Amino acid sequence: MGNLLYIVAVILVIAWAVGFFAYGATGLIHILLVIAIIAILLKFIRRTAE
């Protein structure tokens, strides 16, 4: 499950980067970035808690 969160976070960061540089900044792209950052933080928090 943790590995899946990491993959989703990486995909969201890539989608944000493509959207930001190709289409200009929109609200949806920034929401995707925030979700990706939260997923990465959760992965690190869970790793350090073990």
**Residues 40, 24: Cα–Cα separation, whole Å:** 24
pLDDT tens for the chain, 50 residues long, are 567 777 888 888 787 777 766 666 566 767 777 888 888 888 888 887 76
Amino acid at the residue 44 = F
Q: Return the pLDDT at 50.
A: 65
48, exposed or middle or buried, with CB in 10 Å at 0-12, 13-18, 19+? exposed
Q: Return the pLDDT at 1.
A: 57
Domain ranges of the chain: 2-49
This prediction's pTM? 0.50
Q: Return the pLDDT at 40.
A: 82
